[in-house]
């Protein structure tokens, strides 16, 4: 597995990481704990050294699975987790019913870190993200709280998820930001406007989540695919049947390139991301071993300048249909 340095202050990790959320959260019924452990260990055995989780996934259960699975590999993997949601019993942290509660008060950050350390079975969190920007807590206070935790040896690096460029700069001035995580793929290109240039200027790594468009860019879904009520994609406008039908044009584009490269649409989608910047590390997730191996194979797909120009030209003629989140969740991004 090829490796990449995640920005100027980030760790050197596998070029393709693993987004662990779907093992226990969001995409229908969770995997069995043993199955999840086996899949994560299979990823580590195949050279993956960057794993992404969060306390809200489950909540809590995803970190527990990650901690159990990666304990034998702890000296050679980097684990990222996140804080920032209010996980009180009266909240729905998934955001499926109304707006999720945010809580990035310094005392809440400290409690979240103590819990994550125990569930992950680690002495220090390699990369700690604020999951979503909390408008009620100045980002300087958030960065200051994480800075204290870094000084105490409980956290190694600070990250932000779905933050806007201004917030990134303000946080970075207090505690250097090692990585920014946002949704980014051929059908979600918002970070290109301000976030990626800011990361490049400040030496911050970038971690695209949902690099396969929450599974759509693999080509495995069409307008007739049925989504269970427990699958959070059933709440996303972009996954409405008519939107899926229109958005197949992007899958067709990836498939066309894949036929020339001997690669699948998913591999081309990930290879396209890897070609954007040398400090980008996508984190596709899966619950299937063959999909894991397919995703990792993307690191070997070489897209030439002509390939990239052709993809850009063709993609510019395609208008993606549907918002990427319901309105109440979209409001939590880019702040």
Q: What residues are labeled active site?
A: 57
- The SS3 of residue 23 is helix
What is the distance between the alpha carbons of residues 229 and 231, in angstroms, rounded to a whole number? 5
In degrees, to the nearest 5, what angle opens at C-alpha 236 toward C-alphas 232 and 237?
160
Neighbours of 36 (CB within 10 A): 23
Q: DSSP letters along 278-309, please?
A: TTB------S-HHHHHHHHHGGGPPPPHHHHH
- The SS3 of residue 207 is strand
Return the DSSP state at 202: H
Using CA of residue 11, residue 16, residue 18, residue 22, what is the dihedral sign?
positive
Q: 3-state SS string over 183-198?
A: ECECCECHHHCCHHHH
- The SS3 of residue 4 is strand
């Amino acid at each position: 597995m090829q490796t990449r340095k995640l920005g100027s202050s980030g760790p050197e990790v596998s070029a393709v990481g693993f987004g662990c959320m779907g093992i226990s959260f969001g995409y229908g019924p969770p995997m069995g704990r043993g199955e999840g452990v086996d899949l994560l260990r299979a990823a580590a055995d195949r050279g993956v050294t960057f794993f992404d989780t969060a306390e809200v996934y489950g909540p809590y259960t995803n970190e527990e699975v990650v901690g159990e699975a990666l304990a034998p590999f702890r000296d050679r993997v980097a684990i990222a987790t996140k804080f920032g949601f209010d996980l009180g019993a009266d909240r729905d942290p998934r955001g499926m019913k109304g707006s999720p509660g945010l809580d990035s008060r310094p005392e809440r950050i400290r409690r979240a870190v103590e819990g994550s350390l125990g569930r992950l079975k680690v002495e220090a969190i390699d990369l700690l993200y604020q999951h979503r920007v909390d408008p009620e807590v100045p980002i300087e206070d958030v960065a200051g709280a994480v800075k204290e935790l870094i000084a105490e040896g409980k956290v190694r690096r600070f990250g932000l998820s779905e933050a806007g460029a201004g917030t990134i700069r303000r946080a970075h001035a207090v505690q250097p930001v090692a990585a920014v995580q946002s949704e980014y793929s051929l059908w979600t290109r918002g970070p290109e406007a301000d976030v990626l240039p800011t990361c490049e200027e400040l030496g911050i790594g970038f971690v695209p989540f949902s690099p396969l468009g929450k599974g759509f860019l693999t080509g495995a879904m069409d307008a007739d695919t049925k989504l269970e009520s427990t699958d959070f994609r059933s709440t996303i406008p972009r996954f409405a049947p008519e939107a899926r039908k229109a958005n197949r044009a992007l899958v067709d584009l990836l498939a066309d390139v894949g036929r020339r490269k001997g690669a699948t649409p998913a591999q081309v989608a990930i290879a396209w991301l890897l070609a954007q910047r040398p400090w980008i590390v996508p984190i596709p997730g899966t619950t299937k071993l063959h999909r894991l191996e397919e995703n990792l194979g993307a690191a070997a797909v070489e897209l030439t300048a002509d390939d990239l120009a052709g993809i850009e030209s063709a993609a510019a003629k395609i208008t993606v249909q549907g918002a990427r989140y319901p309105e109440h969740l979209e409001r939590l991004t880019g702040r």
